[in-house]
């Protein structure tokens, strides 16, 4: 059973106690009116839905639009509802509102929105012993006013959903994760963000950004609420959807689950025993904030010491190309998906511009006005990489990289990927620093353990000054799992400052990545690890 409406242990409780303060966050684009009927329709949990997921409402006279935070769809009311929303309604969800996002899901800070940027207030001073080391610990009253100065990024693109959960306005929130858009805001906002295996949750009714990567994800304060809807009674994992061709059929689900634990029979607390965790060497990058690196190492040590897990270094050599590949593939698909927004069916048509046909470029003016800058940037990028002269050099190469990324993962995981034939690997491709377990190769692992993002939530003011390429850097740890379609989850990881330096304290995200369709174990392990992390931080 899900606990509802009770904010626990997170800083937002302190600063967001009033409605007015919540409005500051700008995390909802539209809200459902409070139910007025007496007695109110019973529900089991509240649900916030990212505004690129179609909703309709039979109960309210004026259903909420589905805007995707784009001027094009400002007044768009979907005639149908996304499968996932219907599924959750059937499981007792009450919709509370549609959350803010980067336009069409393109962004890492939820700032590229027609509804205005999402912002989260800075954390309150941590426990008193650390106050003096916190460089910008704001006066708690100060945080309440309208000053944007101290506000932090909520992460993106599902920033609104992450905040809706963090403030306690929703027990569960839906986001979409294309390259980290659920996990990154979860990490920045101190909540749990889970991206299921690609094809587990229906995308029907989810306005596509990059179809081959888009995954509906879940955000909640704890892992348990997510486990409940995904694996509990009537667990979503078993439900296919004939309206989404990329959603696995019932037969495929059964086949994938055959080699996995945790489907049908719930996993207990002993799940952590004897597990092997891989630490990807390539994730220890220069840009990684020292505090996060320390917390990561501490988490690994805790798993080893307290749970008897094996922690081994692994190599994912293609990681360094993954981000580049992602920023070729995703914009390419985006440029195609967004071609339908041409000012004829959606948005305002620019009738003042000269005749389109004259210059041979159709609809340019309407599209120029209707899209935000980041979307335009990615459409141009995608249009270029798909053009006949650039295709081979960009799109095709990126697809090859994508295949290599998947191969990397298949090599380090002990379980096979049920979607692909078992591959053999050449040991000479391996990084020399990887120790061999035996003559067959290095040790294989159950899960990968790494940070979700290289930094803590940055200041919104800094984000606004960033170039777009700087912003893309935030996705470096989340993109590989997206390219491979693997399940991944970000759980809150306390980052403590070390005395005397300028490290910020707060909550970062610890990411666990599993083999395809190993979601049941991933969630169980994440549940156990986050409990342990919480215990460790309170013990300090």
Partner 1 sequence: MSRISTAELGRYLLTGHLSRRGCLHARLPRISPSAPFHRPTSQRRPFGSDAESLETSTAVPRNAAAAPVAPVTPLRKQLKDQAKALKASGRKKKKNADNQTVPGWELTVGIEIHAQLNTARKLFSPAAASFNDKPNAHVALFDVAMPGSQPLFQPETLIPAVRAALALNCAVQPVSRFDRKHYFHWDQPAGYQITQYYHPFARDGRIVLHARDGIAPEEDGGRVEIGIKQVQMEQDTAKTTAQPGDVHWLDFNRVGLPLIEIITLPQIRHPATAAAFVRKVQMLLSAVDACVSGMEAGGLRADVNVSVRRSEDVATGRLGTRTEIKNLSSFKAVEDAIIAERDRQIAVLEAGGVVEGETRGWSLGSTETRRLRGKEGEVDYRYMPDPDLGPVVIGEDLVGHLAASMGVLPDAEIDELVGRYGLSAKDALSLMMLDDGARIQYFYNVLDALEERLGLGNDAASDQRHALLAANWCLHELGKLTELASDLGMTPNGECHVPSADLAAVLSHLHRREITAKVAKDLLWGVFRGDITAGGVTQTIDAASLWFHELSEREYAELADQVVEGEDKVLGEFLRFKQGNAKAYPQGKLMFLVGKMMRVGTEQRMDPASAERVLRARLERVYLPALEAR
Pick between residue 65 and residue 123 the one whose CB is nearest to partner 1.
65
Q: Pick between residue 312 and residue 379 the one whose CB is nearest to partner 1.
A: 379
Q: How many residues bind partner 1 (CB under 8 A)?
A: 43
Region of 305-313, 339-347, 512-520, 525-533 interacting with partner 1 (CB under 8 A): 339-347
Residues 400-419 that bind partner 1 (CB under 8 A): none
- Identify the CA nearest to 84 among candidates 192, 167, 161: 161
Q: Which of 23, 301, 340, 400 binds partner 1 (CB under 8 A)?
A: 340
Strand 506-514, strand 488-495: pairing: antiparallel
Name which position in 239, 333, 374, 408 contacts partner 1 (CB under 8 A).
333
Residue 342 within binding range of partner 1, rule CB under 8 A: yes
Q: Is 113 a catalytic residue?
A: no
Alpha-carbon torsion, ordered 245, 246, 251, 254, to 10 deg = -160
CA distance readout (Å), 476 to 77, 81, 282, 401, 508: 35, 33, 11, 15, 15
Restricting to residues 372-391, name those near partner 1 by CB under 8 A.
383, 386-388, 391
CA-to-CA distance for 374 and 382, rounded, in angstroms?
12
**119, 181, 202, 505: the active-site residue:** 181
- Least distance from C-beta 186 to partner 1, angstroms? 23
395 binds partner 1 per the rule CB under 8 A: yes
Q: Is 181 a catalytic residue?
A: yes
Residues 386 and 389: their CA atoms lie apart, in Å, by 8
Q: Is 335 among the residues that bind partner 1 (CB under 8 A)? A: yes
Nearer to partner 1, 48 or 223 (CB): 48
SS (H, E, C) 71-91: HHHCCCCCCCCCHHHHHHHHC
Of the pair 281, 353, the CB lying nearest partner 1 is at: 353
Task: Give the three-class secondary structure for 303.
Answer: helix
Beta strand pairing call for 310-314 and 276-280: parallel
**Residue span 129-158 as binding mask against partner 1, x where in contact by CB under 8 A, dash where not:** ------------------------------
Give just the sign of the alpha carbon dihedral 28, 34, 40, 41.
negative
Decide: is 348 part of the binding site for partner 1 (CB under 8 A): no
What residues numbered 189-208 form the site for partner 1, per CB under 8 A?
203-208
Per CB under 8 A, which of residues 207..266 are in contact with partner 1? 207-208, 210-212, 242-246
Q: Judged by CB under 8 A, does residue 54 bind partner 1?
A: yes
Residue 50 annotated among the catalytic residues of the structure: yes
> At 250, is the secondary structure helix, strand, or coil?
helix
496 binds partner 1 (CB under 8 A): no
- Complex with partner 1: residue 285 or 386, whichever CB lies closer: 386
Instruction: Please state, in angstroms and rounded to a whole number, the distance separating the CA atoms of residues 519 and 192.
Output: 15
Q: Is 311 in the site for partner 1 (CB under 8 A)?
A: no
Q: For residues 507 and 499, give the distance between their C-alpha atoms in angstroms, rounded to a whole number.
A: 17
Contact assessment for residue 520 and residue 262, using Cβ atoms and an 8 Å cutoff: yes
Out of 332, 415, 484, 495, point to the residue binding partner 1 (CB under 8 A): 332
Minimum gap (Å) between residue 49 Cβ and partner 1: 12
Q: Which residues contact 217 (CB under 8 A, 6 or more apart)?
A: 158, 174, 175, 176, 177, 181, 182, 183, 193, 194, 195, 196
Shortest Å distance, C-beta 359 to partner 1: 10
CA distances from 3 to 84, 166, 220, 228, 483 (A): 21, 14, 11, 11, 34
Instruction: Give the C-alpha separation, 322 to 406, whole Å.
Output: 10
95 binds partner 1 (CB under 8 A): no
Q: Closest by alpha carbon to 194, among 173, 163, 170?
A: 173
Whole-number minimum distance, CB 164 to partner 1, in Å? 21
Residues lying near partner 1 in the complex (CB under 8 A)? 53-54, 66, 68, 73, 76, 78-80, 82, 203-208, 210-212, 242-246, 332-333, 335-336, 338-340, 342, 344-345, 360, 362-363, 383, 386-388, 391, 395
Active site residues: 50, 157, 181
């Amino acid at each position: 059973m899900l606990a509802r409406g009770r904010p626990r242990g997170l800083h937002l409780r302190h600063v967001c106690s009033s409605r007015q303060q919540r409005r500051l966050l700008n995390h909802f684009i539209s809200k459902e009116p409070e139910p007025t009927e007496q007695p109110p329709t019973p529900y089991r949990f509240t649900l916030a839905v990212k505004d690129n997921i179609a909703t309709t409402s039979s109960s309210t006279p004026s259903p909420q639009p589905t805007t995707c935070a784009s001027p094009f769809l400002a007044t768009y009311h979907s005639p149908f509802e996304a499968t996932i929303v219907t599924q959750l309604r059937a499981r007792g969800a009450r919709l509370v509102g549609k959350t803010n996002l980067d336009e069409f899901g393109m962004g890492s800070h939820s700032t590229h929105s027609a509804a205005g940027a999402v912002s989260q207030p800075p954390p309150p001073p941590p426990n008193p012993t650390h106050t003096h080391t916190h460089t910008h610990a704001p006066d708690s009253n100060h945080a309440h006013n309208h000053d944007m100065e101290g506000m932090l990024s909520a992460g993106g693109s599902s920033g609104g959903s992450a905040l809706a959960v963090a403030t306690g306005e929703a027990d569960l929130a839906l986001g979409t994760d294309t390259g980290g858009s659920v996990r990154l805001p979860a990490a920045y906002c101190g909540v749990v963000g889970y991206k299921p295996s690609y094809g587990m949750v229906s995308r029907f009714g989810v306005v596509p950004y990059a179809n081959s990567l888009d995954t509906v994800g879940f955000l909640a304060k704890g892992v348990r609420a997510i486990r409940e809807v995904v694996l509990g009674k009537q667990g979503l994992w078993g439900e296919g959807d004939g309206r989404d061709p990329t959603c696995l059929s019932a037969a495929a689900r059964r086949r994938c689950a055959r080699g996995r634990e945790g489907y049908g029979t719930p996993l207990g607390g002993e799940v952590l025993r004897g597990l092997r965790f891989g630490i990807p060497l390539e994730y220890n990058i220069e840009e990684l904030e020292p505090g996060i690196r320390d917390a990561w190492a501490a988490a690994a040590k805790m798993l080893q010491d307290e749970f008897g897990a094996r922690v081994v270094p692994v190599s994912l050599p293609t990681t360094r190309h993954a981000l580049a590949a992602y920023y070729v593939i995703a914009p390419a698909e985006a440029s195609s998906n967004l071609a339908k927004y041409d000012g004829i069916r959606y948005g305002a048509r620019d009738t003042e511009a000269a005749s389109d046909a004259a210059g041979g470029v159709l609809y340019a003016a309407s599209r120029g006005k209707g899209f935000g800058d980041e979307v335009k940037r990615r459409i141009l990028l995608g249009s270029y990489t798909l053009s006949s002269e650039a295709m081979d050099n960009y799109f095709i190469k990126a697809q090859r990289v994508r295949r290599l990324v998947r191969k990397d993962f298949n090599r380090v995981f002990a379980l096979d990927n049920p979607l692909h034939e078992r591959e053999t690997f050449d040991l000479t491709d391996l990084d020399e620093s990887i120790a061999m377990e035996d003559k067959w190769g290095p040790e294989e692992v159950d899960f990968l353990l790494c940070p979700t993002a290289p930094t803590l939530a940055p200041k919104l003011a800094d984000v606004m000054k960033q170039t777009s390429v700087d912003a893309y850097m935030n996705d470096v740890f989340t993109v590989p799992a997206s390219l491979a379609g693997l399940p991944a989850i970000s759980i809150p990881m306390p980052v403590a400052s070390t005395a005397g330096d300028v490290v910020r304290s707060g909550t970062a995200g610890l990411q666990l990545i599993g083999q395809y369709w190993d979601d049941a174990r991933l969630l169980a392990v994440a549940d156990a690890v986050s409990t342990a992390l919480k215990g460790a931080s309170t013990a300090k």
